Chains A and B, each alone.
Chain A
Amino acid sequence: MNLVTEITILVLAVFVGFEVISKVPTTLHTPLMSQTNAIHGIVLLGGLIVVGYSSDFLGQLIGFIAIVFGTINIVGGFMVTDRMLEMFGPKKKKPAPSADDSPEDGK
Chain B
Amino acid sequence: MSTVFAALAPDSSLVAILYIVSFSLFIFGIKLGTHPTSARRGNGVAAIGMAVAVITTLCLKGVGNWGIIIAGILVGTIVGAVASKRVKMTEMPQMVALYNGLGGGAIALIAWSEYRHWVHLGDAISSKQASDSLIVQLEHLSVVISKANFSISASVPLEVMIPTLLAMVIGSISFWGSNVAFGKLQEIIPSQPLALPGQKIINGALLLLLIAGGIYLGVNNGLTDLNQPVFVLMLVVAGLLGLGVVMPIGGADMPVVISLLNAFTGLSAAAAGIALDNTALIVAGTLVGSSGTILTLEMATAMNRSVANILFAGFGSPAAGGGGDQEQRPYRSMNAQDAAIQLAYADSVVIVPGYGLAVAQAQHAVKEMADELNKKGVTVNYAIHPVAGRMPGHMNVLLAEADVPYDQLKEMDEINPELPQTDVCVVIGANDVTNPAAKTDESSPIYGMPIIEVDEAQQVLVLKRSMSAGFAGIDNDLFYNEKTSMVFGDAKGTVQEIVTELGNL
Contacts and interface: CB of A to CB of B under 8 A. Distances in A.
A and B from one complex:
yes
A9 B405 CA distance: 40
Given A28-B34, A62-B112, A87-B400, A48 B406 contact: no
A17 B294 CA distance: 10
Given A42-B53, A89-B37, A73 B103 contact: yes
A44 B106 contact: yes
Interface in A77-107: 77-89, 91-92, 94-97, 99, 101-102, 104
Contact of B274 (A3, A75, A87, A97): A3
A97 B274 CA distance: 52
B39 interface: yes
A68 B72 contact: yes
A85 B65 contact: no
Interface in A6-60: 6-7, 9-10, 13-14, 16-18, 20-55, 58-60
B277 A76 contact: no
A97 B80 contact: no
B75 interface: yes
Given A41-B50, A86-B40, A88-B40, A67 B103 contact: no
B107 interface: yes
User: How would you classify the secondary structure of chain A's contact residues: helix, strand, loop or mixed?
Assistant: helix
Contacts, number: 395
Contacts of A87: 89, 397, 400-401, 403
B241 interface: no
A66 B144 CA distance: 18
B contact residues, range: 35 or more
A102 B374 CA distance: 9
Contact of A49 (B46, B57, B77): B57
A51 B37 contact: no
B84 A17 contact: no
A18 B290 contact: yes
A64 B72 contact: yes
Contacts of B73: 67, 71
Nearest to B85: A79
B257 to A, nearest CB: 12
B376 to A, nearest CB: 9
Interface in B261-282: 262, 265-266, 269-270, 272-274, 276-282
A1 to B, nearest CB: 5
Nearest to B23: A13
A41 B100 CA distance: 9
Interface residues of A, number: 88
A49 B62 contact: yes
A17 B287 contact: yes
Nearest to A65: B109
A63 B411 CA distance: 45
Contacts of A76: 79-81, 83-84, 95, 99
B106 A70 contact: yes
B380 interface: yes
Nearest to A83: B84
A65 B159 CA distance: 26
B375 interface: yes
B286 A17 contact: yes
Interface stretch (B113-121, B207-215, B429-437, B485-493): B113-121
Given A16-B27, A49-B142, A82-B44, A27 B280 contact: no
Nearest to A80: B84
Pick from A25, A28, A76, A77 the residue with the most CB of B within 10 Å: A76
Interface stretch (B198-206, B305-313, B387-395, B443-451): B387-395
Contact of B278 (A41, A45, A75): A45
12 contacts: A6-B274, A13-B282, A29-B392, A34-B92, A36-B288, A50-B113, A51-B64, A51-B69, A63-B72, A63-B113, A74-B76, A85-B43
Interface of A: 1, 3, 6-7, 9-10, 13-14, 16-18, 20-55, 58-60, 62-89, 91-92, 94-97, 99, 101-102, 104
